[in-house]
Amino acid sequence: METYNTPFSIDELLDALSSSNDSAVGPDDIHYQMLKHLPSEVLNTLLSVFNDIWLTGNFPSSWRQSYVVPIPKPEKDTSVLTNYLPIALTSCVCKVMERMVNKKQNYHSHTEWFPQRLKHHSLYA
């Protein structure tokens, strides 16, 4: 198994949670603050769920749902429909896993494509 396909660690989950900023919730109504204050047993269960998704590729269909909220563009006529930006509010749980996947992929793409950076950049030290 390639190293970028390895299961996530609890440290990766905690890092993703700590770098999450509070934002509006998606259809599941789960807030970042709820996730950040989960007891360790529940965090381990969440990690198991994330690893199952990662290793099997069975992405929850509920994570494909979002609330779309129209936000008016600044200083534009709000009676014109095209003067709104659609903002999709998605699951915070999904966004935590996305953050973990992105960090893993970014790390491995840098170490595979730019191995010389490992010697010179503190991020990879």
Give 54-112 pLDDT, tens digit per residue. 999 999 999 999 999 999 999 999 999 999 999 999 999 999 999 999 998 876 555 55
Q: How far apart are the first and last CA of the chain?
A: 23
Q: What domain range is 8 assigned to?
A: 3-118
Residue 124 domain flag: no
Residue 125 domain flag: no
pTM: 0.76
Give the span between the Cα atoms of 89 and 68, in whole angstroms.
6
Residue 35 domain flag: yes
Residue 51 domain flag: yes
Give the span between the Cα atoms of 98 and 104, in whole angstroms.
10
Tokens found for residue 49: 């769920």
Give the span between the Cα atoms of 100 and 42, in whole angstroms.
18
Domain tally, the chain: 1
Residue 64 domain flag: yes
Give the span between the Cα atoms of 16 and 2, in whole angstroms.
22
pLDDT over 70 percentage in the chain: 82
